[in-house]
Structure 1
Amino acid sequence: MTLALVGALTSAAFTLLVVSPRVLRQARWQVRRPALALALWHVALVLGMMLMGGAMVLSVGAAVSVSTRSAEPWGEQVAISLLGWITAIAFSGLVTVISVALERVLGAQRHNRSTLLSLPHHAEQVGGTLVLECETDEPIACAIPVSGGIVVISTGLKALLNPAQVGAVIAHESAHLRWGHLLATRLADLHLACLPRAEVARQLHRTTRLSIELIADDDAARHAGAVNLSNALIRLGVYQNDDTLTLRAERIAARYGNRGRRTLAVRCASMTR
C-alpha cells in the first residue's frame, strides 16, 4: 500500500514537473494571457515539488516504521527500507543543491543591487513611487523591492526618451513591484540554478521573464498610455538592438486599438529615416 501511494505521488509530480511544461509551452495564448500563463507554470512547479516532497517524506517515514515492526512481508520490508534510505540520501543532496543555488541567486541579486545603488543619484516621488535617478549614460530602468519599493532610472534613459515615455517606463517598473514579480523571478532563477541543463528549467525561466514583462506592459499601458509605452519600447529596442522590445511594442499597439497602431507606424517610419 505504501509503495503504491509513493508511486502515485511520484507519478503525479512527474506529470506536473515534466509533462505539463511540454504542454504549456505549445500554448499560443500565453502572449495574450501572460498572468494566467505565469500562474499555471508556477503552480505546476510548486505543486509538483510539494508532491515530490510528500513522496519523499512518506518513503522515509515508511522505512522508519517498517524497521520497528515485522508484520509486513520480508520482501516488502526490504523494498520499503531500501527506498527510504535512497530517498533520504537523495533528499539530503537536494537540500544541499538548493541551498548552494539559492545563495548564488541571492548573492548575484545583492551584488547587482548594491552596484546600481552605489551610483550617484537623487530621489523623487512619482505617483506614489520612490524613484531614484542615477547618473549614468546607459538607459537603465529597474524595480527594487526594498523599503516599500523603489524604481531606479538613469539620466541616460531620460536623455533617450521624452517625459511621457519615461513616465510609461516608470509605470512599467512600478507594476513589477505592485504584482510582486520578484518572487516569481527568484523561483525561476533558483530552478534554473539547480537544473542548468534541463530544458524544462530553461523554458520556465524564459516564460517567467517574458510573462512578467508582458504583465507589466499591460499595466503600464493602462496607467500611462499605450502610445507612450510603445514608443518608449521602440526607442529602447533600437538603442539596444533588441528585437524583443520592438515586438513588445507591436503587441501593445495591436492590443490597445487602432490609434496605437497608427501612431506606432508613424514612429517606426520616422526612426528608420
Structure 2
Amino acid sequence: MMRILLFLGTNIAVLLVASLTLRLLGVESYLNAQGINFTGLLIFCFIFGMAGSMISLFISKWMAKRSTGTVIIETPSNSTEKWLLDTVAELAHEAGIKTPEVGIFPAQQSNAFATGWNKDDALVAVSAGLLNRMRPEEVRAVLAHEIGHVANGDMVTLALIQGVVNTFVMFFARVVAHLVDSFLKSRSGGEGGLGFIGYFAVVIVAEIVFGILASAIVAWFSRFREYRADEAGARLAGTGAMVNALARLKSETELPDQMPDTLRAMAITKGQTRSLIEQLFASHPPLDDRIRALKEAAYRQ
C-alpha cells in the first residue's frame, strides 16, 4: 500500500508543481481575465503536462544509474560480464536495434530493467542476485524481455501517455474550477465566486481526484506492455526459458524489493499484488497471469 501511495503522490506532486508554475507565470490569470479560453488552456496544459514526462525520459538513463548504483560494463573483467555483453548484443541484433549499454546493479533480489529515451540509446541492467541464482538460459530470457521493452519503444510510449493524461488532468481540473466559480457567481448575482484562494483550492482537489484516475490508466498500460515484452522474450529466447525465468522470479517475491520507485515500472518484476487497489495501480501483472499468457500463446501456435 505504501508503494501505491508513493506512486500516486509522485504523479500528483508533478501536477501540482505544474499548476503552481502556471499560476506563478500568470497564465491562469490571463486566461481567466479573457473569459476561459478552452483552446488556449488546453495548449498551455499540454505544454506543461508533457514537459515533465519528456524531461524524465531524457534523463532516465542518468537517473537509473544513480538510483540503482548500476555499474556499466565498458570492458568485461570476467567471463560473466563478457557473456552478458555478447548476449545483449546478439539479442539486440535479432530485435533490430542498436546494442544498449549493459550494466549490473548491486541488489540481491533477482531483477532487471531497461530504460533510455529511444531504441538506439538504451540501457539494460541486471541485478547481481539474478546473475548469482538464475541459470544462463533464464538470464538470457530476462535480457530478451528487457530488449523487448526497448524494441517496442515502451519507455517513449509510457512517457507520452503520462504526458497526455497529465494534460487532461490539468485541463479538466481548471474546467471544474471554472464551472464551480461560474455557478457561485450565478447564485450571488455575479458578486460571489471562488476568489483567488478558493479557485486554486478547487483546482488542487480536482487534480488529486483526476490524478488518481489517470494513474490507474498509466498503470494499466504498464501492465499491458509487460505482456508484450514477455512475448518478445519468448520469441528471442524461447517460451520455455521465458516461463522458467518468470517462475524463478515468482519464487523470490517474498524477498525485499530493492528497486527504486522511479524504476519499478521498468523492472521485470514488482512482486505479487493482493488487494483490488494494488491490482488497479500495479505496474506489473501477477506473475501467474504472465506465465499463463505465455503458455496459452504457445499452445495456440
Q: State the TM-score, normalized to the length of structure 2.
A: 0.50
Between structures 1 and 2, the one with greater helix share: 1
Within-5 A mapping of 1:1-273: 85-87=35-37, 90-91=41-42, 94-95=45-46, 97-98=48-49, 101-102=52-53, 105-106=56-57, 109=60, 112-116=63-67, 118-123=69-74, 124-126=85-87, 127=90, 128=93, 129-130=99-100, 131-145=102-116, 148-193=121-166, 195=169, 197-198=209-210, 201-241=214-254, 242-243=271-272, 244-257=286-299
CA, structure 1 residues 85+186, in 2 after alignment: closer, same or farther (shift >3 Å)? same
Query: Shift of the alpha carbon at 1:153?
Result: 0.9
Query: Shift of the alpha carbon at 1:251?
Result: 1.5
Higher RCO, Cα 8 Å, sep 6+? 2
CA, structure 1 residues 193+140, in 2 after alignment: closer, same or farther (shift >3 Å)? farther
Is 1:140–1:156's contact at 8 Å kept on the other side of the alignment?
A: yes
C-alpha separation in 2, matches of 1:118 and 1:202: 27
Query: What is the aligned length?
Result: 179
Query: Shift of the alpha carbon at 1:166?
Result: 0.6
C-alpha separation in 2, matches of 1:212 and 1:160: 26
Query: Shift of the alpha carbon at 1:211?
Result: 1.5
Residues 120-129 or 156-165, more deviating: 120-129
What is the identity, as a one-letter code, of the residue corresponding to 2:66?
A: T
User: Counterpart of 2:200?
Assistant: none
What is the identity, as a one-letter code, of the residue corresponding to 1:245?
A: L
C-alpha separation in 1, matches of 2:214 and 2:55: 16
C-alpha separation in 1, matches of 2:47 and 2:150: 31
C-alpha separation in 1, matches of 2:152 and 2:53: 22
Instruction: Give the SS at the match of 2:108.
Output: coil
Is 2:246–2:287's contact at 8 Å kept on the other side of the alignment?
A: yes
User: What runs of 5+ residues in structure 2 fail to find an aligned partner?
Assistant: 1-31, 75-84, 94-98, 170-207, 255-270, 273-285
Is 1:143–1:177's contact at 8 Å kept on the other side of the alignment?
A: yes
Query: Shift of the alpha carbon at 1:172?
Result: 0.6
CA, structure 1 residues 193+125, in 2 after alignment: closer, same or farther (shift >3 Å)? farther
CA, structure 1 residues 107+180, in 2 after alignment: closer, same or farther (shift >3 Å)? closer
Query: Shift of the alpha carbon at 1:233?
Result: 1.0
What is the identity, as a one-letter code, of the residue corresponding to 1:220?
A: G
User: What runs of 5+ residues in structure 1 fail to find an aligned partner?
Assistant: 1-81, 259-273
Residues 232-241 or 211-220, more deviating: 232-241
C-alpha separation in 2, matches of 1:182 and 1:168: 20
What is the percentage of aligned positions where both structures have the same residue?
20
What is the identity, as a one-letter code, of the residue corresponding to 2:149?
A: H
Q: State the TM-score, normalized to the length of structure 1.
A: 0.54
RMSD: 3.5
Larger radius of gyration: 1
What is the identity, as a one-letter code, of the residue corresponding to 1:182?
A: M
C-alpha separation in 1, matches of 2:59 and 2:123: 18
Query: Shift of the alpha carbon at 1:224?
Result: 0.8
TM-superposition CA deviations, 1:178-214 (whole Å, max 9, x none):
1111121112333454535336523421221011111
Is 1:105–1:190's contact at 8 Å kept on the other side of the alignment?
A: no
C-alpha separation in 1, matches of 2:139 and 2:164: 33
